[in-house]
Structure 1
Amino acid sequence: MDRVAMPEQLRAAGVTARELDTFWLVADRLQNRAIADRLSVSERTVESHISSLLRKLGGTNRISLVAMADDLRDQLERRDASLPMPLSSFVGRTDQLDDLAELVTAHRLVTLTGPAGAGKTRLALQLARTTDALPPATLVDLAALPPGGPVERAFTDALGIDIEGRPARTILRDALSEGRHWLVVDNCEHVADAVAALLSALLSSTRQLTVLATSHGPLRVAGEVVYEVPPLGLPPESATDQDAEAVRLFADRAAAAAPGFAVTQENARDVAAVCRRLDGLPLAIELAAARIRTFSPAELLARLDDRFAFLTDGARGTETRHRTLEEALRWSYDLLDDDERLVLERCSVFPGSFDYDTVAGVVSYAPSTSADFDRAFPRLLDRSLVVSRRRGQTTEYRLLDSVRHFAHRQLVEREGGEAVRDQHARYVFARAVGLGDAVRGSDQPMALAWFDRRWGDLVAAMSWAFESEQYELAWTFVAGVGTAWDVVGVHGVLFDWLDQLLERPWPAGELGQAAAVTAAIALCQQSSARSIEIAELADLATSRASTLLARGWAGGRGPKAGEAEARRQLREAADLFGAAGDPWHRAFALTGLAAVETNADAALACCTESAELFRQCGDLVKRANVLYHMAMRAIEWNVRLDEVGGWIAEASELAERAGTRHEILHVAIVAATFDQACGEYDLAEARFRELLSEFRRLDDRRCVSRCLRGLGLAATRSGDLDTARRHLVEAVRLAAETGPRQRVVDALELLANVETTAGRPDRAELMLKVGAADDPVAELDLLFSAQGRVS
């Protein structure tokens, strides 16, 4: 709510922002129910705020609060006579107001910078109304001046000085030399050079002048303190924090547009998402909230892709450039020169943040040169069209989403956007492929952090490759990352890419070989049949080791008849990689071999060696993954259980150090499985249920099957046989798709136990027979249909 009547005595009394909101609404004679609706809180919370206000301000009852508010408003109206009266409430910005109150009392020139629509003017005027340490402020509004217009005359008019034929600067200096003065100089960006020259002269020739300026960028006057106005506070991703500043502004403006509107449990997530999509920009949020008369928050959210056609018709009485979001951004864009516009437009190719070297490498092509970029990019930063933040020792940049949409529209009009999208795709693909060794251990945390931060770029680049039918370019990226996908994490979207690529002609030569190996190993997580089919495309003559790796990895997840051959292929692949001095791929082959070994000691020996090799390579993720598999096999075979806890603990610590979400989830599965084996049934069931949704989102079907197996066991134990059957049937089907074969057999045995418990031994017998078959996958559909559609 409005902080207009927040003089120093209220702040000194310890009145909080929410109590202040309540104070002014009480002063407006609203009852508790109406106040609660306006603030989106409970009546009990309102009562608590009123009690706190009475205690802090020494009031005796509600009437005394009304009287205090009336007195304070009288004082403020007398002080603020020279400032325009606000037509709507002021929301949030408590921290910024406190910061600026200190700055303007300590420094003679403070400049508020920020993008169009960030609320610089409103913040400056609010500060002028709430700061008691300076004399009453005089507003010098330069918005109506054309570029090159008479800046000095605007100052004299604001101060009410008659120049009488004398030089305006001399008159201003003389007038401001007597007594203390505070000027709020608003909208300097289009006349910045003239304003800077005038303020430099005035500040150097007067002693008691304080200036608060607003501009898109610094004025570059000696002694200037630059304060970047941030967007309004946002709720965290996926959160629905109704007290976030942006959400409070939306709620306030929406309630004004459609009385009775409130943020509720039902619409809070959509309101928060709207505010995030609009980057917390006050202008954009106000324009969106005004549309609540016509659309629900969910409908607003769905229309933000076309925000410039949608966010129009700002309040009458506002400046023209603030009537629509597009006009506000156009004001900033028109102040750029053509080189700056071109760089801004090309920066719109980035869907998220980017670093300096990346953006320079992508956007510096004809007619723009690297020298043009080096000159233009800092100007875009100065004008707040590009924002920056520090991540450790790295500076990252991005365009606010509304700026990006606007700049992209200009790019399409200028040059179509195809060239910069192609540049972007080739740059990020080359960077991703070049990080292969680092992903496998030479600098894994750095490489994984890069993939995490740049995933949006890679998705956008693949969209361009498919849209432009550059399938070889797409394969260059997917196959170039290769076996490192097992470390990066096989995102669900990778399977979508493979689905599209596998419908196209197969690439020739070394690229085709790498594509076959990559696709065969990745598809093991989704379909053993497809994996085996693709592995056959790998050429032994081109690379015997990698071909055996792909065929062994895929074949080990197929019918029983192929397991012996898969073990032979993976042993030979491991030996070939070892002889070639490639310990990482030797270790990778050994993990595949361990998965198809039928002897516990042999499987765990393979795991032990591969874990050590991954340690030597510096690969935290794969060592964690091997320890996870060791623990899982030990639990399944009921061997070395005294070591399982240690393996899980080390795997968890390594996954956390690597910062890979997928491997953290893998460790959580084995921890839940161990809990279940140790009798911690309720804890295990809760973990499996939470993990199931995570792995469904990632489309990791192997791990979905493991979660369903755990939930099936839990339901069997609790006697809910229908639920147990449903979970285990799906677990069997997914295990049949992804392998290895033993997972299918294990799940069928659990399902047979359910049928036995349900008094259906004939069904149980059929399931055990299928599990013992050479190719249980081929029998599954027949089995389930014969059981009266148990699924």
Structure 2
Amino acid sequence: MTGVEHPVIRTPDQRIRVFVSSTLRELAGERRAVREAVERMRLAPVMFELGARPHPPRSLYRSYLEQSDVFVGIYGAGYGWVAPGEEVSGLEDEYNLAPRSMPKLIYIKDVPARDEKLKELIARIQADDTAAYLHFETAEELGERVAADLATLLAERFDESRPDAAASAEPDLAARVPAPYTTTIGRDGELAELRALLAGGEHRVVSLIGPGGIGKSRLAIVAAHANADLFPDGVHFVPLEGVLEAGLLLPTIAYVLGIRDTGADSLEERIAQSLDDRRVLIVLDNFEQIVDEAPVLVRLYTLAPNACFLVTSRTILRIRGERVFDVDTLGLPPVDAPATLAQAQASAACVLFAERAAAVKPEFELTEANAADVIEICRRLDGLPLAIELAAAKVRLLPPADIATRLGRALPLLSAPVRDLPDRHRTMRATIDWSVGLLAEDQREMLEDLGVFAARFTLDAVEAVGASRPWGDHAIETLAALIDASLVRQMDQDGRSVFSLLAIVREYALEALEKRGDADELKIAHAEHYLGLVKRIAPGLRGPGQIEAVTELGLEVPNLRAAARHLVQTGRLEEAADFAWSLIVYWWISGYFADVRVWMLELLASGRPMSDRARAIAAFFTTWAEMWQQPSVEVVSTLGESARLFAESGDDHAAAMVQTARATTRLQFPDLDPQVARAELDDAVVRLRTFGDRWSESLAEVALGQLGVVCQDIAAATEHFDRSVRIAEDADDAFTRIVAGNNRARFRFLIGMRDECEEEFLLTLRLSIQLRFVDGATYGIEGMCALAAARGEAWRAGALAGAAATIRQTTGIFDIEEFAVHREPLAAIRAADPDAVAAGERAGRDMSLAEAIALALPDADAETRRSAAAW
């Protein structure tokens, strides 16, 4: 592959995406093998799962290609189907659309016969100097070749990309802000105004206000990308469309900022400590549904004076420090101007219509013949961007003249019943009504049913929820029609094809579902699907499948939240409690205890009867934060009541788990009674071992080791820490191995076992990378800091300390002062070489987590470095 400029490989903030092109049914086994090979390398396979339909929209796989880094083509016997009006199959079209600069790896299966048109395509590929091709026979052989070729390619490209990466890549600061789904048209003036507001520094909250469909979210996203340079400490995007409970605002902000809720402090305090004096921009999208929580923003910006909030909302927040920015419609030709092509080309609304129409019908363009009709359409839709996009999608079926005529008949009729809404909102809702009215009955029913989902959902989930619906037997085709109508969007997320509705479309769908009387039925179906998913995944949260289970659940968080809400709303309290309890390991690892507390408080406030076990679960989760924030006799008492309720309901296993938490709370008392705590923990260990719960047993042994440290019983601490590690290793459980290992390593450092503790810190750091467990990684970095200081490595010790301090501040993770093993050796070497330590600390404070890990693990293998860089 020669003659082209190599693209920059973007490893630090975005997983490398590998676009896989092939026919589906013929090469299903080969596709699986390639997907597994790509995922083994921690890359993201991009595979168009709806490609089974004969004519996937060209704009969709073009969008997929634009977001990809490497093209992998797999060719067998078939050329693929040529859709009506097209000259080539989707298979060839994908190859044609792949940019010349994109690396192309082509694999040709040895088959007895091949379609003539495929032979022609392969001959063209073989003459293409930007593509490399190999033959293969079996799926297994293909998987091995793809993995080897990708490794070679990335090794070459990574080195070549280094000199220019900083200049050409988008700043890391905006990495969490989503890319706009399509190009943005007609907003240059607004973007310039917003930059002036954000650059000034005097506005703490800038609120983008306007009706649904006017383009607030798109404008906020584009503004966040365009102004990242004004916020050197980070730009973060917080989607709130699935956040309906006021109590979830802070947990959602915290999670996006990387703050894990382990209960060590109130979330408001931890967010403020994380932001501190950092100059950051936080985008809060779709705030209107929790607008009563707006005063929270005042408290946050008061505590974090350099933080700025960019908010999208249909209603004004009405808080101190708010600067309202009204988002207007797109520009239209003057009413008294002639409807000419020149007028249409000068109108942002008409240009948007033309671009979106060309996306579904590539030959479409503005002409003298259709300009007047396009102007009429955009005027009728009042320049509302989403309404224009929905109308443009109909160009596949209708010419602009027919669209204008139908809109002229439909909009006045449809908008009449909603006169109480503002004019633009009424127009938007009427446009959705019109678009839905053009759907077949089963398509309309599916759209309304999809309103039950949270932000994003998979095809598997759609098929499960629709199993008993009229559209259930042809879910793929029906969903495809909704994509063609621009009512459902499709995108790639970590190699999976996922779908979503815009917030206003989801609101419309859910309202229709409620009006139809089917809402409870769909909520139950949704909850049952995710209950089943959790039952399938939850056992893997303890043991060798833990890393994969945590990753899979992480992709489903919005729908896990929605499922919990549906269970509580439909009165299925026992299942809601079981749902929460079965995921206790996930909540802990990923820091979602605040979310669960909200559900459990709703459960307790429902007034419905519930079992002792459900009450025990609710008592545990609502008390968890207080275990760490305010350990007290009352907390011990509540946990004791939870354990009693578990025991009386027949769940002695859960009772033993809660007893461990109760004893751990006692360890934090200044007037600790060691005998009571030891008796509770010893009893819990025996019971947990009987139940075969190695996860909880290991954590109970950690608590016993900590008790030994508090009591200065070195022998007991050694015994229990060693045992906790052995149990974790026997269970092959990454989380408990990290927790047990970090505790043992810190203890070993304190008693002078330096070589042994280094090995432990390095191991737990590598495991933390795999699990993406920030707490564990931070302890590992601090452990390596302590060792560097003890060995006289002043600059390295300072850099690791600075990096760890930044991580703790950013994520809100705080440690017990007495057990922070790096502080004393760091102070000693600072006294001996203050300049080198200070220089290291300055460098460390500017390091990313990946850079800090690289400094702590100088001899890490390539796989570990890739995983750390992709974190």
TM-score by length of 1: 0.51
1:461 maps to 563
Distance 1:354 1:248, change over 3 A: closer
How far apart, in 2, do the equivalents of 1:495 and 1:713 lie? 40
1:610 maps to 724
Moved more, 516-525 or 643-652: 516-525
Moved more, 480-489 or 529-538: 480-489
Distance 1:112 1:703, change over 3 A: same
- 1:447 paired with 2:549, answer yes
2:747 maps to 633
How far apart, in 1, do the equivalents of 2:548 and 2:311 lie? 36
- 1:352 paired with 2:466, answer no
2:174 maps to 239
Distance 1:568 1:439, change over 3 A: same
How far apart, in 2, do the equivalents of 1:418 and 1:382 lie? 28
- 1:619 paired with 2:733, answer yes
Distance 1:614 1:253, change over 3 A: same
Tell me which of 426, 432, 453 is aligned to 2:534. Answer: 432
Distance 1:417 1:484, change over 3 A: same
Gaps of 5+ in 2: 8-54, 67-82, 89-96, 98-116, 122-167, 227-280, 286-309, 317-325, 334-343, 345-349, 351-373, 391-431, 832-871
1:341 maps to 444
How far apart, in 1, do the equivalents of 2:175 and 2:221 lie? 21
Q: 5 Å matches for 1:639-788?
A: 639-671=752-784, 680=794, 682-696=798-812, 703=815
Structure 1 position 258, deviation (Å):
8.7
Structure 1 position 630, deviation (Å):
1.1
How far apart, in 2, do the equivalents of 1:638 and 1:397 lie? 54
1:584 maps to 695
Say whether the 8 Å CA contact 1:346–1:408 is kept in structure 2. Answer: yes
Say whether the 8 Å CA contact 2:657–2:684 is kept in structure 1. Answer: yes
Tell me which of 327, 341, 357 is aligned to 2:387. Answer: 327
Gaps of 5+ in 1: 1-11, 17-108, 124-195, 204-211, 213-221, 226-232, 720-791
Say whether the 8 Å CA contact 1:675–1:683 is kept in structure 2. Answer: no
Say whether the 8 Å CA contact 2:543–2:732 is kept in structure 1. Answer: yes
How far apart, in 2, do the equivalents of 1:709 and 1:437 lie? 35
Say whether the 8 Å CA contact 1:348–1:404 is kept in structure 2. Answer: yes
| SS of 1:397 mapped into structure 2 | strand
2:807 is matched by which residue type in structure 1?
L
CA offset digits 1:441-468 (Å, max 9, x no partner): 1421221012211112223334455666
Tell me which of 535, 542, 560 is aligned to 2:639. Answer: 535
Structure 1 position 434, deviation (Å):
4.2
CA offset digits 1:363-391 (Å, max 9, x no partner): 4445x352253541233344454344556
How far apart, in 1, do the equivalents of 2:171 and 2:512 lie? 31
Tell me which of 647, 650, 659 is aligned to 1:551. Answer: 659
- 1:370 paired with 2:486, answer no
Distance 1:384 1:664, change over 3 A: farther
Say whether the 8 Å CA contact 1:287–1:313 is kept in structure 2. Answer: no
Tell me which of 293, 297, 302 is aligned to 2:311. Answer: 302
Say whether the 8 Å CA contact 2:699–2:740 is kept in structure 1. Answer: no
2:706 maps to 595
How far apart, in 2, do the equivalents of 1:555 and 1:496 lie? 25
Q: 5 Å matches for 1:267-306?
A: 285=219, 302-304=311-313
Q: 5 Å matches for 1:90-239?
A: 112-113=58-59, 199=85, 239=174
CA offset digits 1:130-158 (Å, max 9, x no partner): xxxxxxxxxxxxxxxxxxxxxxxxxxxxx
CA offset digits 1:191-232 (Å, max 9, x no partner): xxxxx87x48x99xxxxxxxx9xxxxxxxxx99x9xxxxxxx
Distance 1:285 1:667, change over 3 A: same
Say whether the 8 Å CA contact 1:563–1:596 is kept in structure 2. Answer: yes
Say whether the 8 Å CA contact 1:390–1:396 is kept in structure 2. Answer: yes
2:718 is matched by which residue type in structure 1?
L
| SS of 1:639 mapped into structure 2 | coil
2:174 is matched by which residue type in structure 1?
A
How far apart, in 2, do the equivalents of 1:249 and 1:370 lie? 34
Say whether the 8 Å CA contact 1:655–1:663 is kept in structure 2. Answer: yes
Say whether the 8 Å CA contact 2:742–2:764 is kept in structure 1. Answer: yes
1:266 maps to 199
Say whether the 8 Å CA contact 2:721–2:740 is kept in structure 1. Answer: yes
Say whether the 8 Å CA contact 1:234–1:247 is kept in structure 2. Answer: no
2:332 is matched by which residue type in structure 1?
A
Distance 1:336 1:453, change over 3 A: same
Moved more, 397-406 or 497-506: 497-506
2:268 maps to none
2:686 maps to 575
Distance 1:518 1:566, change over 3 A: farther
Say whether the 8 Å CA contact 2:208–2:311 is kept in structure 1. Answer: no
1:457 is matched by which residue type in structure 2?
N
| SS of 1:614 mapped into structure 2 | helix
Tell me which of 674, 680, 683 is aligned to 1:563. Answer: 674
1:781 maps to none
Distance 1:592 1:600, change over 3 A: same
Q: 5 Å matches for 1:52-91?
A: none
How far apart, in 1, do the equivalents of 2:606 and 2:739 lie? 33
Distance 1:266 1:260, change over 3 A: closer
How far apart, in 2, do the equivalents of 1:418 and 1:494 lie? 22
How far apart, in 1, do the equivalents of 2:187 and 2:492 lie? 35
Structure 1 position 589, deviation (Å):
2.5
Structure with the greater alpha carbon radius of gyration: 1
Structure 1 position 610, deviation (Å):
2.2
| SS of 2:556 mapped into structure 1 | helix
Say whether the 8 Å CA contact 2:574–2:610 is kept in structure 1. Answer: yes
How far apart, in 2, do the equivalents of 1:638 and 1:112 lie? 65
Distance 1:456 1:342, change over 3 A: same
| SS of 1:557 mapped into structure 2 | helix
Tell me which of 580, 587, 606 is aligned to 1:478. Answer: 580
Distance 1:550 1:400, change over 3 A: same
CA offset digits 1:10-40 (Å, max 9, x no partner): xx9x9x9xxxxxxxxxxxxxxxxxxxxxxxx
Alpha-carbon RMSD across the aligned residues, in angstroms, is 5.6
Q: Decide which structure has greater helix share.
A: 1
2:685 is matched by which residue type in structure 1?
A
1:621 is matched by which residue type in structure 2?
F
1:477 is matched by which residue type in structure 2?
F
TM-score by length of 2: 0.47
The number of residues matched between the two structures is: 498
2:683 is matched by which residue type in structure 1?
E
1:3 maps to none
| SS of 1:351 mapped into structure 2 | coil
Say whether the 8 Å CA contact 1:284–1:325 is kept in structure 2. Answer: no
CA offset digits 1:148-178 (Å, max 9, x no partner): xxxxxxxxxxxxxxxxxxxxxxxxxxxxxxx
Q: Sequence identity, in percent?
A: 16
1:654 is matched by which residue type in structure 2?
L
Structure 1 position 606, deviation (Å):
1.9
| SS of 1:474 mapped into structure 2 | helix
How far apart, in 1, do the equivalents of 2:190 and 2:623 lie? 57
